[in-house]
Amino acid sequence: MKVIHAASDDRTLLTQAEVAEILRVSTETVKDWRLRPERYRGSRPPYIKLGRIIRYRKAALAAWLARYEKRSGGENGKRA
């Protein structure tokens, strides 16, 4: 399993297959996120489109994941 580090190089670009491997989802799921964001409340990993080529910045993927990270003790890390 690949690991994303917070100090990732902003210039590192990942393929759809690499993103799928990192997140442990299918490549079709990653493609669906990109093509149908309305199904996922408008949220999708930020991507770069170069003609027909799709790439994802490693650092942007890590930042996108961090927004969904839950802390113990409730939604905002506060204990009830």
Chain centroid offset of residue 78 CA:
26
Does pTM top 0.85 for this prediction?
Answer: no
Q: Which residues pair with 50 in a beta bridge?
A: 53
CA dihedral 50, 55, 60, 62 (to 10 degrees): 180
Q: What would you report as the CA-atom Rg of the chain, rounded to the nearest whole angstrom?
A: 14
Where do the structural domains in the chain lie, given as residue ranges? 15-66
Dihedral of alpha carbons 5, 35, 24, 16, sign: negative
Percent of the chain, pLDDT > 70? 76
Q: Per-residue pLDDT tens for 15-39?
A: 999 999 999 999 999 999 999 878 8
